[in-house]
A and B are shown apart, each in its own frame.
Chain A
Amino acid sequence: MSGDEVAAGERTPVTWEDIEAAWRRGAIGALPVLFRGMPEKERKMLVAGLKERQAALRTGELGWDAHRRHVRMLKLVGPAVLGGPAGIAQWLAKRDFVFGAEGRDPLHKAVAEIIRDRNPEWLGNVAERLAQRMTVRTSVQNWFLVDRLARAAGGPPPGADSYVAGWLPFHGRNTKVPSLADSLRADSYTPVMVPRIFATDGVGEELEMWANTDVPERTWAVALRTLCDEGLVDRAQIVDRCLGRMLRGAEPRHLRGFLALYEGLDVTDDEAASHAVAYLRLLADAPATVAVVAQVTLRRLDEAGRLTAVQVEEATRAVLFRSEKKLLRPQFTWLGKAVKGHADHAGVLIAAAATAFAHPDTGIQDRALAFIAKHLPKLADGQAEPVREELRAAVDMLTGTARAGVLELLGESVEDAAPEGDAAPVHVPAEMPPDIESLDELVSEVAAFIAARRRSSWTGARNTPSEDPWTIERIIAAMLREHARDRRGLAATMGPMVDRVEEAGILGRRDDHVDVAAGLGSAVVASAGGRRVGRRWFEELFASPEGKNGRGSVSGHLAAPHRVLAGRLFETAERLRTPFPVPYLSRPADIRGYVDPAEFVRGLEKCAAAGRDPWPLDLEQALLRMPSTIDPEVVARAERLGTPAGKWAADVMAAGGMTAPDVAVLESVNRNRWQTQRIGYHLLPTVGEVPEQFADGVLARALCGMDQPVKQFQALAWQGFPEASSWPLVAPGHRDVIAAHAALNIAHAVDNPRAGLDVLPVLAAADGQAGDGIAVAFAYGLAAREAVDRAHAVDGLIVLAGRGTDAWNGADLGRTLSELIRMDIIRTTRLAESLRQAVAGGASAAVWAVMAGMIPGLRGERPAGLGDLLAVAAECAARSGARQFLSGLEPYVKKGTSRIAVEARRLETVLAG
């Protein structure tokens, strides 16, 4: 060693060529020797070369293997030439070196050797700094290097949290020794590191990650227990830290490991008694898995007479405030025993049971009531007073039978539970949105539509705000108006929008990209004086679903109301391209979407006067938007025109708009093609043939004649419809037809987040009969997977309720729901939640009508969550004052404490008055 140092002064300086030659020749071992005893000055001169070579890494010219070798060399040379521990640590942590040296590596030994040769005190310093640069989540890289340096330094382990995160798997994965305890015993860091497991956030998962529960000696729980027993770590401290760690809280996945450690310790009663306060807090705030353990421990302590009555009361209040049933039930049992054990404080303990009245679940309320009713009469007056106080406080938060029970216990008269007389808010129709007034505003609206479409295509259907149903109508009206007024001005202003349309990629270049946005895109391009876009898809839009060559066509995967909209937009584009303005006939004149018949006929007259035919889709859309009652004089004027358009219009107007096509429900069972197994069940609406008056129409034909809904349903599987709320404007008097189309979309909401359920409140407010289409659409909507989607259905139901019973039939909806429940298509719990919300919104009479149709339809089946549904039924029956015999309830009315039986009996009591 000393000989080398003397020689170093005389030898020729080491160059980068020497280093690289040595690296190639002797690899790792050669370099520490090369640098040994090198004067600092000489090291400094090599730094520039180091930086150059690091820069070379980023050129990307090195192959994978060469890159890796290069990285390893630089990692080794850096500590030899850079000045000071800070620089070295920063160098080793460089991102450029991430791939090259992971895990245990001979390179680390050489790095440690090089640093020790320069200054042994740097080892610990570099280790600490490097550890500080890692986080708990990035400790995979460089952990072994840190470990090697720290151990070479001979000092304590690095203090950074990241060191703990690597230390756990380092031992957990050590399979060279028979057990984890052996591995830990051999590590001098163990006594220091074990307490740090509990102090570090975010490492709990590591305790379980490598554990194989089949081999107990490989788990941390067993290893730690062994070390405690051997006295290598302080058992009292570990118990304390473990409880403390669980108290501090974390996500359940991090806490599970600590819970396992705790359970492995087999805490004794003496130990537990000294930590009683900690258990009490865990009972209140910890996740259920931990709280259960605390509950069992405390109960054991109480039975051994080691808890005070105050502590039992605290435990009871803590548990009964929680919502987990697996905690609540045992607590009543424990409390029953504790009342005997702490007879002097029985009153306080029984009063604590009243905490459970805060739960909305009537089953839990009843349980608490039964408990108090059982114990209260046995109490002396002084003891009973705190219980009575609690009961008095609870009266206001209770309703129904629980409230009556509490009042009875208090010896007060039960006031008549008169129906609360709530009513659904009366539906107030929205106001017509204002027209787009200026060209600038038109550009803003178009830009906003494109931007929204662009955004929703990236972020998916979720969280996109509902689109305004009037956006497209307002844009069409404004474009046609400006076209008639100042065609060149329109073209100049819309010019910049063409680029945006192109960028947004909504022009429908491929068939499966066609939708309403493609239609609007064509109109925008046309308004700016551009070429014709979308001719091809337009031709297919109303063709048969199989297409010309059987490969399918646009119409196969586009919902009918969307085809109507897209078709009209394409026609608008055609109109914008012609220089002759023709009156716009289908402009909606009221919020429901009806045209003004007089205005419409005036438009027809203008067309006839100018010798032009009305645009066909415009005309047909206008006829679909005819209100049912029309001044006969207006009809006569249309008749007098003598044109084919006038004739058709007069026919339709005289009949009071389009005759409603039949909407029915189709039940179908999909079977596997080769076997008879059922693989899917569908309950979807069909729409009957197009009425005679519209036999020559295009749009009406698209809307009617849906006889294969299952096929259509499957074709629409991947789409949600952001602008479905505009659909009712397509055929204002035929909401059942629109609902039938919407139902195909809404049915997907049962398992998916879905856009387009906002059509439901609009349908509820729309005109026309409410038959099977409405029933199916609402049935699926009320049971949608996402609370956000269900909220639309609930809002719709409340609107329906507010419009009175003649607007719809609740029993129909109930029957459809019962069928979906029996076929296991929808989840009863979600439905119950929706109906509860509707009741809260004042629709209790309407919900009762639904229930009265649904319960008989269940035919005695007991789907999961039926108890919830019956509870809602009881509530809305009580609120709406329903008194009737309900067939179909008998199978559920039984003795026993099951939720279904309890709620069914409650419902029966309410109905009996």
Chain B
Amino acid sequence: MAVSEPPGGGVGAPPYVADMASLVQSYSYLRASALLTEPGGTPSLGLETCGGLTSHGLAPYPRFFTGFLTAPAAAAGSLLAVADVAATRYFQPQNRASLDPVVTGNGDRLRFESFSGCGGVYARLDVLPGGIDGEILGNGTTNVDVNAPLREALAMIGGGEPLHVAVGPDDVTVTTFDGPVVEKKVPLPDRWLRGFAEVQVIAARFDLRAEMTGVEATRFLRTLPKNSRQVLWFKPVGRALRAASGPARGAVCLAGPDRLRTFARVLRHATALRVYGPPAPTGPVASAWEIELPGMRLTLTLSPDAARGFSGEGAVLGDLASASGAADADLVSALLAWEPRIELGELATESGLGIDRVRAALVRLGTAGRVGYDVAEAAYFHRELPYDTGRAEAMNPRLRDARRLVAEQRVELRDGTAVVASPSGATYQVRLAGDGACTCEWWAKYRGGRGPCKHLLGAQMAVRERENAGVSA
């Protein structure tokens, strides 16, 4: 059991166990992000960056963009919305989070992403080519500083005049400043990291469920109950959504409608609302809500319950459990070049792998925070989260336990079933047919709603091991 010191070192305090440890993330910016107005000049929004991976390798203060945003009021509102999500814990709103959003220079567009402190809401603003009048200077991903004066300045932006924006300091600034003047340290729990990465892969299974105009969207969103954490269901009827009593084919799940209140800032600029979700839900599921704005899109992806983060969904455990996937993922990752839209076909030809293996490799890369998923384009895009997500994924408790079950030979395979002897002494019957099932209590509680249990995962691993052994023998 790994033991690490709590942040700041501790005298006589109990040592933290690795499972509960939270990494501390340090942000250091050259200066604070601010709306700068030079005397007599037009205002310019300077968003400051801190270290991240770019197309030219690691950079301390990368510069991604300089130019104009064509719809400044909508852009400012959306940026505030993204920052709001980063600063909120929807389940325990009194405890504010203090995480900074992530910005990606992505070929022809800019993406701003954030993940709520509670791990249940993912927000992304895609500023599309139509919303940009300027130059993307480089590709890469990094954090962007948000502070109170900047929020006030963003709230003041309105009107139709294009707004000048610079993401990252220019060379002159970098050389004249002695060192970073804004430094923040925030705890970064494992489950937050895992959730941020996994939400991409969960969204990759979504289809378009409903679409409505801006006016209809406003009317609909205003009918939602306030301060509610309930799980609501809707059925698309024509171009509207009608309240429904529960899951059904084509139904849309909205868990914790209160979490959509972030949209209030941009609703007046909305031209459309699109809702995405998995095709045939049987219980509460995640959903993505995308507001289309002039030249940009703001998307909120919500977890299946306000009290539930994305990290425990287990949607990707099956893919991660396979041993051969790692090599495929390495191969595919070498071919990525900050594309805003990853074409599966091209990747398949280039890598020589089949489409299915490329898709599996992308799932793996997604959980490592190295690709994101854009539901509107129905495509992955390349970006590298500026966090150590790989470590968090390797530490997935269920995966680790399953590996241990296999390693200790506690899994006995039979015909279409398996018997798993738990270290606690109980034995569980695992059925492998279809999605599989288990007789353990955890499975009884969720019935596959949060992915496979460790026993099923272990049994699947054992089956794969046996197949591989059969092939090599």
Contacts and interface: CB of A to CB of B under 8 A. Distances in A.
A278 B429 contact: no
Contact of A450 (B11, B444, B447): B444
A496 B12 CA distance: 44
Contacts of A438: 431
A358 B215 contact: yes
A841 B235 contact: yes
Nearest to A787: B225
Contacts of A443: 429, 439
A795 B12 contact: no
Contact of B268 (A249, A284, A447, A795): A284
Interface string B248-292: 000000000000000011011000000000000001100000000
B156 A837 contact: no
Interface in A182-233: 199, 201-202
A323 B223 CA distance: 11
Given A447-B439, A791-B244, A280 B148 contact: no
Interface in B432-461: 437-441, 443-445, 447
A358 B268 CA distance: 10
Nearest to A796: B245
Contacts of A318: 268
B365 to A, nearest CB: 33
Contacts of A671: none
Interface stretch (A26-34, A145-153, A458-466, A644-652): A458-466
Nearest to B77: A285
Interface of B is mostly: mixed
A527 to B, nearest CB: 15
Contact of A496 (B96, B215, B426): B426
B222 interface: yes
A463 B254 CA distance: 12
Interface string A262-297: 000000000000000110110011000000000000
A761 to B, nearest CB: 6
Contacts of B95: 137
A532 interface: no
B387 interface: no
Nearest to A393: B215
B8 to A, nearest CB: 7
B91 interface: no
Interface stretch (B25-33, B187-195, B226-234): B226-234
A788 interface: yes
A536 interface: no
Contact of A444 (B155, B222, B243, B443): B443
A21 interface: no
Interface string A117-142: 00000000000000000000100000
A245 B151 CA distance: 10
A285 B158 CA distance: 12
Given A284-B268, A463-B230, A447 B152 contact: no
Contact of A285 (B155, B284, B426): B155
Contacts of A837: 242-243
Nearest to B417: A440
A244 interface: yes
Contacts of B232: 787-788, 791
A51 interface: yes
A303 interface: no
A448 interface: yes
B219 A280 contact: no
B152 A247 contact: yes
Contacts of B245: 466, 757-758, 761, 788, 791-792, 794-795
Contact of B219 (A248, A360, A448, A758): A360
Nearest to B248: A795
A864 interface: no
A462 B218 CA distance: 27
B240 interface: yes
Contact-residue bracket for chain A: 35 or more
A788 B230 contact: yes
Contact of B305 (A90, A463, A788, A790): A463
B235 to A, nearest CB: 7
A448 B447 contact: yes
Nearest to A275: B156
A321 B219 CA distance: 11
Contacts, number: 140
A792 B232 CA distance: 11
B215 A278 contact: no
B283 A786 contact: no
Interface string A306-319: 00000000100110
B22 to A, nearest CB: 16
A500 B444 CA distance: 11
A277 B156 contact: yes
A358 B218 contact: yes
Interface string B68-103: 000000000100000000000000001110000000
A455 interface: yes
Contacts of A280: 158
Nearest to B257: A787
B244 A321 contact: no
Contacts of B1: none
A758 B246 contact: yes
A278 B158 CA distance: 10
Contacts of B426: 496
A248 B151 contact: yes
B243 A791 contact: yes
A360 B433 CA distance: 51
A248 B439 contact: no
B237 A281 contact: no
A795 B244 contact: yes
A443 B95 CA distance: 42
B436 to A, nearest CB: 11
A444 B12 contact: no
A451 interface: yes
Interface in A750-809: 757-758, 761, 786-788, 790-792, 794-795
9 contacts: A51-B12, A90-B11, A438-B431, A440-B429, A440-B431, A444-B439, A448-B445, A451-B445, A787-B230
Interface of B: 8, 11-12, 77, 94-96, 148-149, 151-152, 155-156, 158-159, 213, 215-216, 218-219, 222-223, 225, 228-233, 235, 237, 240, 242-247, 264-265, 267-268, 283-284, 305, 417, 426-427, 429, 431, 437-441, 443-445, 447
Given A321-B268, A444-B443, A841-B237, 11 more contacts: A245-B152, A280-B158, A281-B158, A317-B268, A397-B213, A440-B429, A443-B439, A444-B437, A444-B444, A447-B444, A465-B247
**5 A-B pairs with least C-beta separation:** A447-B444, A451-B444, A792-B245, A247-B155, A795-B245
